[in-house]
Amino acid sequence: MNQDPDKQAKDRSQTWTILRLLEWTTDFFRSRGSESPRLDAEILLAHARSCSRVELYTAFASEPSEEERVAFREMVRRRGDGMPVAQIVGYREFYSLSFRVNEATLIPRPETEHLVIEALDCAARLNRQQNVLHVADVGTGSGAIAVTLAKHIPDAQVVAVDISQKAIEIAQWNAKQHEVDGRVQFLESDLLSEVEEPTQFAMICSNPPYVTEAEYDELAPSVRDFEPRSALVSGPCGTEVIERLFEQCRERLCSGGQLIIELSPMISQACMDLGKETGLFDEMRSIKDLSGHRRLLSMRRESDAP
Ligand code: GLN
């Protein structure tokens, strides 16, 4: 009855346990240039098994079913071809909320969480009109900023715009999912041009397209091949969209209101200078992300003189 221990060890090594699947897939993704191969493997395997990542850790020695392995294999193939994990599973976590994404939306990035933190800070001290904080999210994409702000600021009324109707459909779905659809209004609009009400906002937030055409050609293929170019590229300088947004603030940002923009460190100084030229702002701050890059501009519109 006693089995040869060598044979037992061999049997084990040939069984596709969760641990072995993860190790193999991690090596494969690394060889394909993923920057987070282990995480990618865990998210995909958890998705194939409809469980959480933590549950994988408590089941290292078990074997996924044939059905789960087939589903996982297909996802591994797509990831190996460069498709982002978020698009394979159809969602991405942002500020502890899950956002549906697809090829029409930019995948929310951790850098953008800094924008949310700054916006929440500002919201605490901004003036309300009839107990409502009017917020705009310009270029809402998946709705990450608009929905997160509505979720965390109970008296916020958010207008979220995007030039892409397809992105808006996803953002609407996300707002409903997180039960803030009653306080977020979506609109297809080039920046704020189509927005009628409210005329002015206490806070305007935006993660606009800010990549230059030349930088775009250097981006990773997984970004260029799978995410919408229009969400990323601004023009030859990178500052074009932000410059137009500054101009719109003249009409659209309340006095004493706050404009918070995510941008590339490459254009941070140029945008600071453009902001100064408008003469609208009395306080302009540049905020760094965790990598030490100048990632945000937060600017307060001058209050009216008494
Ligand atoms: N606001 C969305 C985000 O931050 C989309 C931004 C964009 O498409 N440029 O993820």
Select the CATH number that applies to the domain covering 5-81 from these four: 1.10.8.10, 1.20.1050.10, 3.60.21.10, 3.40.50.300.
1.10.8.10
* pLDDT by 10-residue block (mean), the chain, 306 residues: 61 83 98 95 98 96 96 98 97 97 97 97 92 97 98 98 98 98 98 94 98 96 95 97 98 97 98 97 96 97 73
* pLDDT tens for each residue of 283-300: 999 999 999 999 999 999
- CA 21 to each of CA 15, 44, 71, 81, 117: distance values in angstroms, whole numbers, following the listed order: 9, 11, 13, 18, 37
Whether ligand 1 lies within 6 angstroms of the CB of 112 is answered as: yes
Distance of alpha carbon 14 from alpha carbon 79, whole angstroms: 24
- Residue span(s) of the chain under CATH 3.40.50.150 come to 95-301
Q: Quick check: 97 and 148 in contact, CB under 8 A?
A: yes
Task: Tell me if residue 53 falls in helix, strand or coil.
Answer: helix
Domain spanning 95-301: CATH 3.40.50.280:
no
Atom of ligand 1 nearest to the CA of 137: 1
pLDDT the model gives residue 306? 43
Which residue in this structure is represented by tokens 């589903």? 71
Instruction: Give the model's pLDDT for residue 8.
Output: 62
CB of 145 sitting under 6 A from ligand 1: yes
Measured in angstroms, how far is the CA atom of residue 95 from the centroid of ligand 1?
14
Distance between terminal CA atoms of the chain?
Answer: 94
Task: Provide the whole-model pTM.
Answer: 0.92
CA neighbours within 13 Å on the CB side: how many for 99? 30
Q: Is 40 exposed, middle or buried (0-12, 13-18, 19+ CB in 10 A)?
A: buried
Q: Which single residue is written with the structure tokens 């899950």?
A: 98
CATH 1.10.8.10 domain extents, the chain: 5-81
DSSP 8-state code for residue 212? E
| Smallest CA separation from ligand 1 atom 7, residue | 231
Pairing label, strands 211-212, 233-235? parallel
| Protein residue with its CA nearest to atom 5 in ligand 1 | 141
Q: Which atom of ligand 1 is nearest to the CA of 140?
A: 1
Q: Round to whole Å and give the CA distance between 211 and 21.
A: 37
32 close to 40: Cβ distance less than 8 angstroms:
no
Torsions phi, psi for 215 (to 5 deg): -65, -35
Distance 239 CA to ligand 1 centre (A): 16
